[in-house]
Structure 1
Amino acid sequence: MKAIVKPAARLQGEIQALSSKNYTTRYLLIAALAEGTSTIHYPAHSEDSDAMRRCIRDLGAVIEEDEEKITITGFGRHPKDVKELDVGNAGAVLRFLMSIASFCPEVTFVNKYPASLGKRPHNDLIDSLRQMGIEVEDRDGKLPITIRGGKPRGGKITVSGNVSSQFLSSLLFMTPLLEEDSEIEVLHDLKSKVIVGQTLEVLAQAGIQVEASEDLMHYRIPGRQSYQAQKYTVQGDYPGSAAILAAAAVTNSDVVVHRLEEKSRQGERAVVDVLKAMGVNLTHKDGVVHVLGNEKLRAGEFDGDHFTDAVLAMVAAAVFAEGTSRFYNVENLRYKECDRITDYVNELRKAGADVEERQSEIIIHGKPEGVEGGVEINAHYDHRVIMALTVVGLRSRQGLTILDAQHVAKSYPHYFEHLLALGAEIEFTE
């Protein structure tokens, strides 16, 4: 599907933030790992969360769902013996379940997206699983991956945090169920520490004890623990809302987004501060973010590791700021659905933006007058790239045509609907 994004004269209205994808996938997993029935209120509906639903059902969880909630009767530490799991294009789901699959005799994770998830490396987690006595068959760290487990053992485990924090989170979900106590040491650096905080938060809600060092580089996890069946409520999603807020920031707007908690542990909550630093007229009170956009922004320098999944949207806003902006400490963007630095920068240039890349930086020389647009853009099957390029299209002189725009459904199926409700003009063709 192509999305033809026209220049926006004005955006105005109120929307409810979608539910958090990160929290939904984690709650689904811990509910499946519990022995008993858990309830999750307001779960996200996206390709990623649907992939987790599908996989935990295949592993033996019993799931019932209505419009407001999902109930899950878990399989505990005894998943069903399945031969294959299809995670679609969901990297976090794959990585979380690679550890859980080690309780099964043999599971193959199939490769349905060779041009996207199929290119992403998982060596760091594979190395850790092998330390635990698990046999892994892989293709240079990439899909398809076969896990031959049954009896993973605890003890001292190391995992690299250089590429992704998801590898560490995966081990944190699995190790409490082992017979032995475990110690995890994170090697090198740890990317996206805020997201590890989300993992620790949901583990604690499920009654799991994890002793973490202050710098989040060392962990002690008692074995023989049990996940408790609980009731969970999913909060609004900052990563997806970041694109809506960026769209309001770069246009003449009066936009309100509900269900965004001020004290959320989502690192992407920082976009509120980023946009304020860029001079956006924005208030945040009682879970409501209100943007009055006047198309005037100023440049800034930001550590993107604090809000990884919102960096592209903030870069899109910076395209129109006065001065030069820099988003640094973002190398882990290279290991997502696509290379979110090189691929994204190349598409921004096509649209007329003046941007540069370094190994771990994106530098934007702002154009307050706007960009020309009028071209077709390759979004590289990446939901975050699609959302961010839409923001650029709204402030371009000739609009943008975004290819494969249906992949926005990976995290935010209603993204275009929400923009249309705010007054954006977007047409769709096959």
Structure 2
Amino acid sequence: MDIQVRPAKRLQGEINALSSKNYTTRYLLAAALADGTSTVNYPAHSEDSDAMRRCIRDLGAVLEEKDERITITGFGRNPRPVKELNVGNAGAVLRFLMSVAAFSPEITFVNVYPESLGKRPHDDLIRALEQMNVRIDHNGGKLPITIHGGDPRGGKIAVSGKVSSQYLSSLLFMTPLLEEDSEIEVLDDLKSKVVVGQTLEVLEQAGIYIKASEDLMHFHVPGRQKYLAKNYVVQGDYPGSAAILAAAAVTDSDVRIHRLEERSRQGERAVVDVLKAMGVSLTHVDSTVHITGNTRLKAVEFDGDEATDAVLAMVSAAVFAEGTSRFYNVENLRYKECDRITDFLAELRKAGADVEERRSEIIVHGRPEGVEGGVEINAHFDHRVIMALTVVGLRSKQGLFIRDAHHVAKSYPQFFDHLRSLGAEVNWM
């Protein structure tokens, strides 16, 4: 479905941040790997988190959900033998479960999004699992992928972190259940270290012990551990809220977003500091961010590696700033649902933005007077691109038509409803 985004006259009101997708998927997986029944409070509802629900249920977990709580009876290190798993378009879910699938005789991950997840590489995780006595059939590192497991072994494991930290997180979830101790060495660079910190935080809460080096490049994982059945509470989501905050920053607004913890370990919390640096009138007190937007924005420079899922929203705000902004160390944006540098900037140019790309940088020459808009935009089936382009449409002179905008449901199904509640004119076509 396509959506029409009209220029915003004013955004005003308050909303609760949706629950964190990243924490929800991790808590669901930790609960599934436990022997016993865990509870996850305020779980996210999105295509990604629903994919994790569906897959762990297929693997033998028992789930019961009521109101804002889900109880999960786990399968431990003994998933039910199934022939196929469908993760939809959820890359993190695929990568996390590839390691879990190593405990089963044979599982094929099917390719149902050939134009999105089907194009994404998983070679680095495949090579790591092959070091662990796991045989894998694959399509040049891409889906469909068949895991021939049953007897994975620990020991010395090397994994590259250059493309994605999700490969490392996948191994960190699985290796504590092995009979042997494991030593994991990260090769090359490690992207999104903050997200690895979230994985370690969840594992610690689940009773798992892992000794990590300070630079997160070496890990000692004792084997024969067990996940404990625990009670988890999911915090509010900064990556999704980043687009709402950016929309409020570039328009005449008075907006409050609740349930955003000041001391959250989510790297995307940086959006608050970036918007402040851009001159936005903003306070963050008692887990509520309050923005009153009506001033001219200033350009910024920002290292995007620790806030990957908020970069596009910040770029959209920078489109209307005075001066030239630079977002660097963002090459891993190229390996998401689409190439979030080349593809996203091509659509921004259609809307009238002045942007440049480097291999690992996005350069934005701001236009405080606004952009023309009035064009049809291809969102490339990418939820983050959809949200960021919506921000631009709200400040454009003629609005934007965004194709396939329903894919925003991958992480934030209520996104357009929340904007509408704040006074935005967004209409499904």
- TM over 0.5: same fold? yes
Whole-Å separation in 2 of the counterparts to 1:382 and 1:359 = 20
1:162-211 deviation per Cα after TM superposition (whole angstroms, max 9, x unaligned): 00000000000000000000000000000000000000000000000000
Give the AA of the match of 2:139. R
Residue identity (%)? 79
Whole-Å separation in 2 of the counterparts to 1:192 and 1:208 = 22
User: For residues 155-166 of structure 1, what are the structure 2 equivalents within 5 Å?
Assistant: 155-166=155-166
Matched with 2:232 is 232
Give the AA of the match of 1:251. T
Structure 1 SS opposite 2:380:
coil
Give the AA of the match of 1:288. T
User: For residues 64-75 of structure 1, what are the structure 2 equivalents within 5 Å?
Assistant: 64-75=64-75
Whole-Å separation in 1 of the counterparts to 2:192 and 2:393 = 29
Matched with 2:211 is 211
Matched with 1:287 is 287
Give the AA of the match of 2:35. E
Distance 1:125 1:286, change over 3 A: same
Structure 2 alignment gaps of length 5 or more: none
1:337-367 deviation per Cα after TM superposition (whole angstroms, max 9, x unaligned): 0000000000000000000000000000000
Whole-Å separation in 1 of the counterparts to 2:64 and 2:427 = 36
Matched with 2:407 is 407
Whole-Å separation in 1 of the counterparts to 2:174 and 2:68 = 29
Structure 1 SS opposite 2:202:
helix
Matched with 2:179 is 179
Give the AA of the match of 2:18. L
Whole-Å separation in 2 of the counterparts to 1:219 and 1:225 = 15
Matched with 1:252 is 252
Give the AA of the match of 2:59. L
Matched with 1:265 is 265
Give the AA of the match of 2:166. Q
How far residue 68 of structure 1 moved from its aligned partner, in angstroms, is 1.0
Distance 1:373 1:295, change over 3 A: farther
How far residue 296 of structure 1 moved from its aligned partner, in angstroms, is 1.4
Matched with 1:374 is 374
Whole-Å separation in 2 of the counterparts to 1:115 and 1:296 = 39
Matched with 1:192 is 192
How far residue 75 of structure 1 moved from its aligned partner, in angstroms, is 0.1
Whole-Å separation in 1 of the counterparts to 2:296 and 2:423 = 20
Whole-Å separation in 2 of the counterparts to 1:337 and 1:66 = 31
Whole-Å separation in 1 of the counterparts to 2:352 and 2:67 = 43
Matched with 2:305 is 305
Whole-Å separation in 1 of the counterparts to 2:323 and 2:366 = 5
Cα pair 2:65 2:71 within 8 Å, conserved? yes
Whole-Å separation in 2 of the counterparts to 1:97 and 1:426 = 36
Whole-Å separation in 2 of the counterparts to 1:197 and 1:267 = 9
Give the AA of the match of 2:268. E
Give the AA of the match of 1:197. G
Whole-Å separation in 2 of the counterparts to 1:234 and 1:308 = 20
Whole-Å separation in 2 of the counterparts to 1:295 and 1:279 = 8
2:389 maps to 1:389: yes
Whole-Å separation in 2 of the counterparts to 1:245 and 1:295 = 14
Whole-Å separation in 2 of the counterparts to 1:375 and 1:64 = 45
Matched with 2:142 is 142
Give the AA of the match of 1:376. E
Give the AA of the match of 1:330. V
How far residue 67 of structure 1 moved from its aligned partner, in angstroms, is 1.3
Whole-Å separation in 2 of the counterparts to 1:109 and 1:278 = 44
Structure 2 SS opposite 1:294:
coil
Whole-Å separation in 1 of the counterparts to 2:51 and 2:295 = 38
Aligned length: 429
Structure 2 SS opposite 1:197:
helix
2:133 maps to 1:112: no
Whole-Å separation in 1 of the counterparts to 2:309 and 2:428 = 25
Whole-Å separation in 1 of the counterparts to 2:214 and 2:427 = 49
Give the AA of the match of 1:118. G
1:64-89 deviation per Cα after TM superposition (whole angstroms, max 9, x unaligned): 00111000000000000000000000
TM-score (norm 1): 1.00
User: For residues 328-343 of structure 1, what are the structure 2 equivalents within 5 Å?
Assistant: 328-343=328-343
Structure 2 SS opposite 1:26:
helix
Whole-Å separation in 1 of the counterparts to 2:69 and 2:338 = 32
Cα pair 2:165 2:195 within 8 Å, conserved? yes
Matched with 1:347 is 347
Matched with 2:49 is 49
Whole-Å separation in 2 of the counterparts to 1:214 and 1:416 = 40
Whole-Å separation in 2 of the counterparts to 1:86 and 1:332 = 24
Whole-Å separation in 2 of the counterparts to 1:39 and 1:96 = 20
Structure 2 SS opposite 1:254:
strand
Whole-Å separation in 2 of the counterparts to 1:35 and 1:295 = 54
How far residue 295 of structure 1 moved from its aligned partner, in angstroms, is 4.3
Structure 1 alignment gaps of length 5 or more: none
How far residue 264 of structure 1 moved from its aligned partner, in angstroms, is 0.3
Whole-Å separation in 1 of the counterparts to 2:282 and 2:5 = 25
Structure 1 SS opposite 2:95:
helix
Cα pair 2:317 2:391 within 8 Å, conserved? yes
2:357 maps to 1:357: yes
Whole-Å separation in 2 of the counterparts to 1:310 and 1:341 = 13
2:335 maps to 1:315: no
Cα pair 2:279 2:295 within 8 Å, conserved? no
Give the AA of the match of 2:327. F
Matched with 1:15 is 15
Whole-Å separation in 2 of the counterparts to 1:114 and 1:35 = 36
How far residue 427 of structure 1 moved from its aligned partner, in angstroms, is 1.1
Matched with 1:128 is 128
Whole-Å separation in 1 of the counterparts to 2:18 and 2:131 = 39
Matched with 1:86 is 86
Give the AA of the match of 2:26. R
Whole-Å separation in 2 of the counterparts to 1:146 and 1:68 = 35
Structure 2 SS opposite 1:371:
coil
Whole-Å separation in 1 of the counterparts to 2:198 and 2:154 = 23
